[in-house]
Amino acid sequence: MKSLFLSLLGLFALPGAVFAEPDFYRDVFPFLKANCVSCHNKTTTKAGLNMESPQLMIQGGDSGPSIIPGKSAQSLIVTASLHQDDLEMPPPNNKSGAVKLTAAEVSILKQWIDLGAKSSTQIERTVALKAFAASVDPIYSVAVTKDGRYAACGRSNDIFIYDLATRRVSARIPNAHQALVQSLAFSPDGKRLASGSFREVKIWHMGSSVTSTSSVVSRRAEANLIKKILDSTKLAVLSSAASADGKTLAIACSDGSVRLWDAVTNKQVIELRGHLPAAKKCAELEWAIARNALEQGFQKSESDRFTKQNTALDELLKKANDAITSMKKVLPEKQKAVPPATAAKNDAQKAVDEVNMKIKAAPNGKADATMDRDLKAAQEKLITARMGEVSALAAVSATESNIKDAEDDVKRITDSKAKNGKAIADSTAAANAAKTAHDKAIAELAALKQQISKPSAKVLALGFSADAARVAALFEDGVLRVWATATGWVIEEVAGSASGVATIAAGPDGSFTAVKSLTLSVGGSPAWTLERTLNEKGLFADRVNAVRFSPDGKTLVTGGGELSRTGDIFFFDVVTGKVVRSWREKHSDTILCLDFSPDGKLLASGAADKITRVTDIATGKQVNLFEGHTHHVMSLAFRADGRVLATAGAESVVNTWDMIIGERKKKIEGWTKEVTSLQFIGATNQIVTAAGDNKVRIVSDDGGEIRSIANLPDYMQAAASTPNGDMLIGGGEDSFLRVWDGINGKELVAFGK
């Protein structure tokens, strides 16, 4: 968990001073804040009482007003502070570390109440930040550019930017903030870097590469080394160069390739081919392959889901049809029973009527005992007959109703099956389209790689950078191309004229020298400069724990808030730095993480209140509220297709959420401490996570274990991946930014301070 190294608002009393009348914020609030407010505040309002202002205490809670102005003896806060009338506040052994007020504090409290319990003006003390100790250098946040070229980390209050191609430090921004760097994010084009700290956000801009005015001429490789290489390969060597330390050789071969050789072992290290447009196209095709593979998997799962539903519906349909058949089979018999029952009822009614006629004809219209007995018997038979008719009619009605219900079920089930059938057809069509696009991208990538492997323009000259991190080649077509020697990535190139400038010089001895020259230059490491600072007074209450650029790069969103009170989100126009939208108190505790949906329409936010919210940016309306965590939501990320959201919890759990149905997809466990960060790897369903159990772990969004890099030296705070997943980075409390091979988990390099 991140440590707080700053004091926020200070409320103080001048030592040795004597005041005629207690001032609330100067004299009373400090001891109330230390011993009462932790349980009686806006967020945690125990017994319905908020003690953050005189007005709120007068308003009171479940037991009524806690203070009565002018009457300290009748005020509950005084009674509780004195532990009288079975009131004991703060309670003993409480979790907040609150203690019983001292006699002097109770005296000040009583005096303040007796004098009217007046409010006062809260004094904001200027925060004086001191330099950090050398040992305070944790990495709390990391970021990787969308093209995978650069990685950044905050270390203490400095920002370090690394070139993942050369595996070297690209830039360092010392004292980027006065406080710890809490959050980092690159813009989609990689030209801007946003950093969040205590009450401020800064936007840094990548400027033009710094080109040195001095030059180092690479030396040619020694003839004996070239001979060894020629003996081991059938290719002709057109040009060569040696690194400054002589340990690495670069040779230009007749097939248009540049190859690096270890001068000591005489073994080829890497073959350098391709050009910058081809490298970018390869990256696009790799993304398309992964994205379409993800789409195929999703559409197949949808098709399987609907097919499974239809299988269950088939069972229900069979039961409904069986019920119809069964009910229609017994309906005639039940209908046949109605006429006899009606006739029996009519006969019984006739018998009752006949007895009544006899009674009416008797002397004085009075029935004798026999008539009474006959009438009673006839009435009993009528009741029985009526019940028989009702039962027969009810049986028919129930059967007909059951048939209708079953027929309605058949229609509903049939409609659902038809709807599912269409969904299956749509999913199948979408899966087929994704497969076609997937196969096409694979074929294009293979063709591009084949094209790259073919002979190209010949190399005229080679040269190493002074640190041997780069090697450059000038081709006969006028192109100057630069590769990173550590990875073989094409990192820069510039086109020139193939003709050049030709001159002939005459020597004193009558000889002539013809020279054809071409001047081209490519830059070195780019320079990062401060573009603007966002620190408007009153805007950020505390640390800015999250920063994110929108997918179009036009908007920067920040997340933070006041601890245990508010979670605030602000949207800034990147060009002007102006606030364009404010969501104050979006959460009831400070916001720790943010992410845009891939289409930029939704914003997901996670906070210390254990809640994840997904909000429609245009309307500000909440789309989803996820409550699956029992501790802080430390990090979150959308999958590349926007259909899944992953959230990391401080309770050592990752939850994935199905954004289509708005329900939890999977609860993923296996960590023993807080999961501090997560990110989907490119356009896949794989998630790279960092955790406090000294582990960087990769899981799928359905809970499958992919890989685990365990037994790291210290608590890991953040991890990220390059878009194609070929490199992972991670940092934590030991201040090292580590880079691993994304395929096998092998550590490639560890950058220290």
> pLDDT at residue 626 above 60?
yes
Classified as helix, coil or strand, 317 is: helix
Domain 279-452 belongs to what topology?
A: Helix Hairpins (1.10.287)
DSSP state of 27: I
State the CATH class of domain 139-211+526-682.
mainly beta
Most confident of 17-26, 505-514, 603-612: 603-612
Q: How far apart are CA 110 and CA 79, in angstroms?
A: 10
538 or 292, higher pLDDT = 292
> pLDDT at residue 596 above 70?
yes
pLDDT digits (tens, 9 = 90+) for 43-69: 788 889 999 899 999 999 998 999 999
Other beta carbons within 10 angstroms of residue 276's beta carbon come to 16
Exposure string (b/e) for 17-49, b if CB count within 10 Å is 16 or more? eeeeebbbbbbbbebbbbbbbbbbbeeebeeeb
Token pair listed for 78: 């005084």
Mean of pLDDT values over 297-320: 96
> pLDDT at residue 497 above 70?
no
Residue 15: what pLDDT? 40
Candidates 254, 277, 271, 251; CA nearest to 263 is 251
88 or 327, higher pLDDT = 327
Exposure string (b/e) for 194-227, b if CB count within 10 Å is 16 or more? bbbbbbbbbbbebeeeeeeeeeeebeebeeebbe
Q: How far apart are CA 475 and CA 328, in angstroms?
A: 89
Any bridge partners for residue 239, and if so which?
A: 252
**What one-character-per-residue DSSP string does 133-152 give?**
PTT---EEEEEE-TTS-EEE
pLDDT digits (tens, 9 = 90+) for 640-664: 999 999 999 999 999 999 999 999 9
CA 710 to chain centre: 23
341 or 229, higher pLDDT = 341
* Positive or negative: CA dihedral 581, 587, 590, 593: negative
Residue 254: what pLDDT? 82
Backbone angles phi, psi at 103, to 5 degrees: -60, -40
Do 520 and 474 meet the contact criterion of CB atoms below 8 Å apart?
Answer: yes
Q: How far apart are CA 92 and CA 406, in angstroms?
A: 66
Other beta carbons within 10 angstroms of residue 57's beta carbon come to 26
365 or 691, higher pLDDT = 691
Through-space distance between the first and last CA atoms of the chain, rounded to whole angstroms:
21
Which residues lie closer than 8 Å to 191 by C-beta, 6 or more apart?
205, 206
Most confident of 21-35, 98-112, 291-305, 453-467: 291-305
Which residues lie closer than 8 Å to 149 by C-beta, 6 or more apart?
163, 164, 165, 190, 489, 491
Mean pLDDT of the chain: 89
Candidates 403, 261, 256; CA nearest to 332 is 403
* Positive or negative: CA dihedral 165, 294, 192, 199: negative
**β-pairing, 512-517 with 526-534?**
unpaired
The residue assigned the tokens 């949808």 is 302
pLDDT digits (tens, 9 = 90+) for 547-561: 999 999 999 999 999
Residue 512: what pLDDT? 52
**Domain ranges in the chain with CATH number 1.10.287.950:** 279-452
Mean of pLDDT values over 263-271: 88
Token pair listed for 721: 């991946």
User: Can you give the length of the chain in residues?
Assistant: 753
State the CATH class of domain 223-274+456-491.
mainly beta
pLDDT digits (tens, 9 = 90+) for 125-177: 666 666 777 777 999 999 999 999 999 999 999 999 999 999 999 999 999 99
Which residues lie closer than 8 Å to 204 by C-beta, 6 or more apart?
159, 173, 176, 192, 193, 194, 195, 528, 529, 530, 531
H and E: helices and strands count for the chain: 8, 38
In the β-sheet with 158-163, what is the strand arrangement from edge to edge? Answer: 139-144, 150-155, 158-163, 168-173
Residue 508: what pLDDT? 67
Tell me which of 2-11, 160-169, 651-660, 668-677 is least confident. 2-11
> pLDDT at residue 221 above 80?
no
The residue assigned the tokens 């510039």 is 494
In this prediction, residue 18 has a pLDDT band, given cuts at 50, 70 and 90, of: very low
